[in-house]
Structure 1
Amino acid sequence: MEKKLNILMIDDHPMILEGYKNTILGADLDYFIEISTAADCDSAFEEIKQSANSENPYDVVFIDINLPPSTTEAITSGEDLALRVKKFLPNAKIIILTMYNENHRIYNILKTIDPDGFLIKSDLTSTELLLAFQMVLQNPPYYSSTVKNHIRQMITSDFSLDEKNMKILYHLSRGVKTKSLSNYIGLSLSAIEKRKNHLKGLFGISQGDDEDLLREARNRGFV
């Protein structure tokens, strides 16, 4: 007898959702599959809450990171939704799919969500999606090549950096001046300066400017 799988796919692009559905439903799998979809944080959270109280809750949830934010809850992204899936549907497998490939964003998703599957959309093909889906069901986690490369860089580095330090490096690499970093990170200018000096110490930079800091960060795979 085929096992039933209830799946929720969350993405704000209808054609992408249709592609995901066609890939999964068109495969020769030993499951009876039902797929629901949501296109924003509000509707997705309603699906999650209702599923938590149903006899057949969702087994797998596909989540895009960039979504229209909630109007009633403090849910601004797929990351927030994933945390609610972990709370309301603790047995559900979470597969993150995103265009974001910046080191600090990948690091934060791995650290806070620890998804069963993590795919960067630029890596994605129908074959890759189907392989990820099967691996998540059988032997998670599954990471696409960009995520694997990031993990490899982090492992070969001498240390890891926290989210705030990763964001400092990221925004500096995007051309944001130090005096404006507090608008992006939520720290005072003095706290940011202290963190920058600490980073220089970690990277062995006794003297140097932001470009020297970024150069060493790139060499170590943090940017």
Structure 2
Amino acid sequence: MKNILLVDDHPFILDTYVTMLKKTNSFKFENFLEATSVEKALSIINEEKEIDIALFDISMPKNSISNIEDGIDLALHFKSKHPNAKIIFITMHTEFYILLKAVHLVNPEVFISKNDVDNFTFTAIIDSLKKDKLFYSEEMLEVYKWANQTKIKLDQYDFQILSLTNKGVKTKELINSLPLSLSAIEKRKSNIKLTLADFKGIKI
């Protein structure tokens, strides 16, 4: 592990992460590749030949040109370019469908809340990665266990429907944002509702 990509739209948070990583006792990185925008992150992802670890914040400003909605979509693109790299999510999000999207589509090695970050966190994270072990916060671990137990089958379109619906977009308006027919969207909504029936607060 030599090169690490750090993506967060707040520069001071990136500075904090770099400082903490430099203090880790278990490993010393050679290169810190930093991005505060989707555009910069895509440039690094597409141009760098070797990235060993990538850290993503889930909340990122939408990139209309690349159709990247958030850090999860960015991580999916990263995986397509660097399939052997390890992925870390650090987020303030606690919404079930967002955590599920991250776990189900990306399956990161590390997934924690920003509230859990302290001076010892990154040493523990690097140690876990070296041992090929997962490192999850409690909320994220519960979602991970549930997703694996239920063997859900949702794709990116399903999660787009969930996201837009939770933002108040009506079913008939979803066709303006998705390359799907109204009947296809309605079928997907029924499947999502059945899949996530046990979870309150999911609007669908």
TM-score strictly above 0.5: yes
* Residue 146 of structure 1: aligned partner: 139
CA distance in 2, matches of 1:23, 1:117: 16
CA distance in 1, matches of 2:185, 2:116: 34
CA contact (8 A) 2:38 2:74 kept: yes
Q: Which has the larger radius of gyration?
A: 1
CA distance in 2, matches of 1:165, 1:30: 39
CA distance in 2, matches of 1:27, 1:9: 16
Q: 1:111 is matched with which residue: 80, 104, 107?
A: 104
* Residue 33 of structure 1: aligned partner: 30
* Residue 7 of structure 1: aligned partner: 4
CA contact (8 A) 1:94 1:117 kept: yes
Residues 1:217 and 2:194 aligned together: no
CA distance in 2, matches of 1:182, 1:161: 22
List runs of 5+ in structure 2 lacking aligned partners.
Answer: none
Q: 1:162 is matched with which residue: 154, 157, 160?
A: 154
List runs of 5+ in structure 1 lacking aligned partners.
Answer: 204-213
CA contact (8 A) 2:103 2:143 kept: no
CA distance in 2, matches of 1:175, 1:29: 46
Closer, same or farther in 2 for the Cα pair 1:180/1:50, shift >3 Å? closer
Closer, same or farther in 2 for the Cα pair 1:75/1:135, shift >3 Å? farther
CA distance in 2, matches of 1:14, 1:222: 32
CA contact (8 A) 2:8 2:57 kept: yes
Closer, same or farther in 2 for the Cα pair 1:143/1:183, shift >3 Å? farther
Return the offset for 1:21: 0.8
CA contact (8 A) 2:93 2:113 kept: yes
* Residue 69 of structure 1: aligned partner: 62
Structure 2 counterpart of 1:74, which letter? S
- SS at 1:37 equivalent: strand
Closer, same or farther in 2 for the Cα pair 1:129/1:115, shift >3 Å? same
Percent pairwise identity: 31
* Residue 93 of structure 2: aligned partner: 100
Residues 1:127 and 2:127 aligned together: no
Q: TM-score, normalised by structure 2?
A: 0.74
CA contact (8 A) 2:59 2:91 kept: yes
Structure 1 counterpart of 2:154, which letter? D
CA contact (8 A) 2:26 2:126 kept: no
1:58-99 Cα deviation digits (max 9, x unpaired): 21111112112336x414221222122212222221111222
Residues 1:78 and 2:59 aligned together: no
Q: TM-score, normalised by structure 1?
A: 0.68
CA distance in 2, matches of 1:40, 1:184: 23
CA distance in 1, matches of 2:162, 2:77: 29
- SS at 1:100 equivalent: coil
Closer, same or farther in 2 for the Cα pair 1:196/1:69, shift >3 Å? closer
